[in-house]
Structure 1
Amino acid sequence: MDDISKEIFIRDYEKAVFQESAAIFAGAGLSQNSGFVNWKELLRELAREIKLDVDKESDLISLAQYFVNGRSGSKHELLTLILQKFSHNYVKNDPMDILASMPIKTYWTTNYDNIIEKCIEKQNKEYDLKISDSNFSTTKENSDVTIYKFHGDSRNPESIVLTKDDYSSFHSTHQLFINALTGQLLTKTFLFIGYSFNDPDFLQILSSIRAIAKNVRTHYCLTKRIDSSEIEKKYLNTPDNTSEKKKLKVEYDNCLYEMEKQRHIVKDLKRFGINTVFVDDHKEIPILIAQIQKKNATRRIFIAGSCRDYGAWTEHDAAILMSKLGEGLIKKDYHISTGLIEGVGPQVVSGALHAIAEKNVDLSKYLSIKTLPLIKGKADHIDTEAKKMYQDDMIKKVGIVIFLFGNNFYDGQLQVSKGVLGDYSRALEHNKYIIPVGATGYAAKFISGKIELNINNFHYLKKFISRLNTETDPDMLVNTILETIEYIRDFEYDNLLEFFPLS
């Protein structure tokens, strides 16, 4: 078939997240994870009222229109039903919770519920909500995310798009929505989740893009693979000339038909740059999204360390080590966070800036520097509460913490840095991956020793801890650190199964 592998999808979509060009398009399948009904279930009772069977209907837009026609064109009952069905309290939604934790700034949805909004709020993010063309004239200040409710919102019944009349007038009533989505489909990488691609307004937008753009942008959709193996097994193992065999024959033939239809749909979506990623079970979806989240988090690295004395290292070699580490991380497309702490921060930043200049990229995407908050501008007056908040914030936003050197003078004596040990405690508290470069001594060596005593809790370090502790060549040590990071980023799947078991 014309689907793509999960590995390619994870790699490429995570890169789009890092480049801040990722977007989400959520359909009813996403909301079903939280107990909301899909279109068919929404219209089931209404279909009975007009003596139709929703299971026999493929055109649900017409079905909704038939019901409204039977009410003299009034949508009141239909809108009241939507308000009832989509107004219950938030229920946990694993895929959306994980998506909301990532730096994705654009969400589109045809759903009427507020699942996306609630998940964004849980991350303490602000959102700008668009439910009608009139919303486009204003922009909410300091918003982290923009949510476009393409077919309206249950809390604003007049915004709901559901009947043939609604779709017929869509291009005149939602022109700004259409323009915005068209532009973003050309400039962002969309992930379609829980979406069936049956909406005529959306399909028309895709067709218009294909007509004007020679090269369409790559997008992805997650879809459960239709599989005939189970029904085929039952059919073959059922005795011939029985009513059960006849029933299974119908089911088996229908399944084969749906498989063939799915093959055509997947191929057709590729015309618009939409690549299908198959899952065998819907429970795989949060695992795939969690892998993207983990890869994105581990692309963000905090350098913890301070140094008043380089110990066994010469100042020259130590500077080369840290500068090459900063440069190497940027060349591998990692984002560095650090404070300008004496003896470590400036050297790492120097190498990072050199690589950023060579790549000719936006500095803010690759480097975050936070200096400690001072009182009255004096270096010896640090606001303790603000300092803790800054340090916690820096650790929370990364996936990996690298420890280098780590010493300071206390009462005139050179000792292991209390601040660096504090960073270690915070990294443990927030479940970050920890890479102690024990070869640099001091706090890094102390942390490495503690980890070696509990190495099974840090199994990602087993292959590397010895080299991290003993290598003294700057180039070789930087390569070991980079190898460790790559290993961490690649071994996630088994760990994620503990949180989202398939069985």
Structure 2
Amino acid sequence: MPISRDDFVNYISQKICNNEFSVFFGAGLSTPLGIPTWKSLLEPLAQRLHLDIEKQHDYFALSQYYENMYGKPDLRKYIGNSLFSFKTENDVLEKILKLNLRTIWTTNFDTSIERILQKNFIRHQVINSDRCLANITSSDATIVYKLNGDCNDLEHIVITTEDWETYEETHPTMMTFLKKELVSNTFLFYGYSFQDNLIKSTLSSIKRFVGDLCNTHFSIQERKDDPEFEYKIFDLEQRYHVKTLLVNSYSDVSGIFDDIFERVQANNVFISGRLGDIAPEIENDACNLCRQLSVGLLDAGYNICTGMGRKIGYFVAGPSIQHLLENGYQHIERRLLIRPFDDTMSEKKRTAYREKLIGDNRVAIFIYGHSSYNGRSKGVWEEYQIAKKLGKVILPIGATGFESRLIWQDVKAHLTSYPYLETSIEDLLTECNAQKITTLVLKLLKLTTF
């Protein structure tokens, strides 16, 4: 039975938040970039063999026939010359990449995924054979596993029946890595038709060992009025634990990933603030508030991001790290993102950096915002403007004064744009107790939850 859109979004979002999600891309991902489908790629070869491409359903066999007749070099040169595209616009892929995935799996030979990763300044590492696996680093680079090889190494691409029949002998370690991730993570198959047996045979072998305890995976398919297609979808779920989300058109997928991104961001909170040289009692109050607020947010299940504004960044990061360690968290980065600014950044780069930081969070909290120069913090004000432009949930703690009070005044002047603050806006100005401010913030966050 196909899964509903809402259930799909909720389930995938939860898996992403738990770092238990992987994507698998088939040829359908590259088609919008001008890369041919399997059928159109091999049609000239079928013509040369005097075969009707419409009657060919095993493309590995078709490639094998061509190689038998004209040789391996001729086949692979043709493949290499046919998989070239200058396009780097793929809306769905770019939205998926915003989810900061650790791994991407694909059967595609072309370099579309790598080029879009590069365009978006995402560090990545390509693994296209067993011998490359030894080069995997423990850095934060996204790893792209190319199961059928790479068009930059045509000799080793998997394109014929013989290549497929010897796959487990030529790629044993790659298969081990794939099986491990299929056991530990939930996969989303996109642009993948399941016409080859690579994934189905792998899932079947896993099921033989773990039975019905194996993971549930997902596929996105365009709806078809075809009984055979319905049987195929049913078979994927019954025998391989792959549920399918049916869409009327692949153009709907972009909006689905917008929804997923919003859900993944739901618990992400950006804390903006700064303190220059100031009276010790104000600094002590700020330290206490940051401690109470940070611990309160973490205990409530929220994740914190800080740009390490002067003093405020340390007041947020220090207690957060200590609290997480005391509660057994080994991967601090999953709950606390510390993103300090480079002092040599140009204004343009600072703005872009702020947009990236705030863009990855659903909520922006503003506290203090003081500069020793004139009492105001231009950076905190800019972060407020960015949060407004991006439609974030904005919580100005006006009671802390300085730039945050000016932000509070601006929010109050446009209160109809912030309905979740209508009954609490005055409390954000008058409440000075750190614990009560934290309780108020958590209450307001619940009001804005999906």
Q: Same fold (TM over 0.5)?
A: yes
User: Residue 356 of structure 1: CA displacement?
Assistant: 5.7
User: Residue 480 of structure 1: CA displacement?
Assistant: 4.8
| Secondary structure of residue in 2 paired with 1:205 | helix
Instruction: Give the aligned residue type for 2:239.
Output: D
User: Residue 362 of structure 1: CA displacement?
Assistant: 2.5
User: Residue 33 of structure 1: CA displacement?
Assistant: 2.3
Tell me if structure 2 keeps the 8 A contact 1:437–1:468: no
Instruction: Give the aligned residue type for 1:59.
Output: D
Instruction: For 1:70-219, list aligned pairs within 5 A.
Output: 70-71=69-70, 74-139=71-136, 142=139, 144-214=141-211, 215-219=213-217
Q: Which residue of 2 aligns with 1:222?
A: 220
User: Residue 15 of structure 1: CA displacement?
Assistant: 3.4
1:365 is the counterpart of 2:365: no
Tell me if structure 1 keeps the 8 A contact 2:420–2:447: no
Change (3 A) 1:387 1:469: farther
User: Residue 151 of structure 1: CA displacement?
Assistant: 0.8
Q: Which residue of 1 aligns with 2:405?
A: 445
Instruction: Give the aligned residue type for 1:286.
Output: S
Q: Aligned equivalents of 2:380 and 2:155: distance in 1? A: 57
Change (3 A) 1:348 1:360: closer
Q: Which residue of 1 aligns with 2:260?
A: 292
Q: Which residue of 1 aligns with 2:50?
A: 51
Deviations 1:406-458 (A, max 9, x none): 345557xxx444443244355457775533233444322211322344567xx
User: Residue 39 of structure 1: CA displacement?
Assistant: 1.2
User: Residue 193 of structure 1: CA displacement?
Assistant: 0.9
Change (3 A) 1:143 1:158: farther
Q: Aligned equivalents of 1:19 and 1:69: distance in 2? A: 48
Match of 1:401 among 364, 381, 395: 364
Q: Which residue of 2 aligns with 1:435?
A: 395
Tell me if structure 2 keeps the 8 A contact 1:128–1:143: no
Q: Aligned equivalents of 1:198 and 1:364: distance in 2? A: 39
User: Residue 75 of structure 1: CA displacement?
Assistant: 2.8
Q: Aligned equivalents of 2:415 and 2:51: distance in 1? A: 64
Tell me if structure 2 keeps the 8 A contact 1:325–1:351: no
Counting matched residue pairs gives 440
Tell me if structure 1 keeps the 8 A contact 2:33–2:85: no
User: Residue 213 of structure 1: CA displacement?
Assistant: 2.2
Tell me if structure 1 keeps the 8 A contact 2:381–2:403: yes
Q: Aligned equivalents of 1:349 and 1:211: distance in 2? A: 48
Q: Aligned equivalents of 2:262 and 2:279: distance in 1? A: 35
Change (3 A) 1:480 1:282: farther
Deviations 1:228-262 (A, max 9, x none): 4xxxxxxxxxxxxxxxxxxxxxxxxxx23433443
Q: Which residue of 2 aligns with 1:350?
A: 319
Q: Which residue of 2 aligns with 1:64?
A: 63
Deviations 1:117-165 (A, max 9, x none): 0111122122211112221232368561111111112222112212111
Change (3 A) 1:99 1:58: same
Change (3 A) 1:219 1:394: farther
| Secondary structure of residue in 1 paired with 2:187 | strand
Deviations 1:43-102 (A, max 9, x none): 22322333332223322222222233333xx13333233222211212411111122233
1:304 is the counterpart of 2:272: yes
User: Residue 166 of structure 1: CA displacement?
Assistant: 0.9
1:424 is the counterpart of 2:384: yes
Q: Aligned equivalents of 1:41 and 1:388: distance in 2? A: 45
Q: Aligned equivalents of 1:359 and 1:5: distance in 2? A: 36
Percent identical: 25
Q: Aligned equivalents of 2:131 and 2:335: distance in 1? A: 37
Q: Aligned equivalents of 1:468 and 1:315: distance in 2? A: 25
1:42 is the counterpart of 2:13: no
Deviations 1:305-362 (A, max 9, x none): 2455799x9977x776544431232134332123274468526753674366336452
Instruction: For 1:19-38, list aligned pairs within 5 A.
Output: 19-38=18-37
What runs of 5+ residues in structure 2 fail to find an aligned partner?
none
Instruction: Give the aligned residue type for 2:79.
Output: I
Deviates more, 1:18-27 or 1:475-484: 475-484
User: Residue 217 of structure 1: CA displacement?
Assistant: 2.5
Tell me if structure 1 keeps the 8 A contact 2:415–2:422: no
Change (3 A) 1:19 1:440: same
User: Residue 478 of structure 1: CA displacement?
Assistant: 3.6
Change (3 A) 1:479 1:116: farther
What runs of 5+ residues in structure 1 fail to find an aligned partner?
229-254, 374-382, 491-503
Tell me if structure 2 keeps the 8 A contact 1:20–1:103: no
| Secondary structure of residue in 1 paired with 2:10 | helix
Q: Aligned equivalents of 1:278 and 1:257: distance in 2? A: 15
| Secondary structure of residue in 2 paired with 1:336 | strand
Tell me if structure 2 keeps the 8 A contact 1:101–1:123: no
Q: Aligned equivalents of 1:152 and 1:344: distance in 2? A: 45
CA RMSD in angstroms comes to 3.4
Q: Aligned equivalents of 2:175 and 2:145: distance in 1? A: 11
What's the TM-score once normalised by structure 1's chain length? 0.76
User: Residue 25 of structure 1: CA displacement?
Assistant: 0.7
User: Residue 224 of structure 1: CA displacement?
Assistant: 2.2
| Secondary structure of residue in 2 paired with 1:283 | helix
User: Residue 467 of structure 1: CA displacement?
Assistant: 1.1
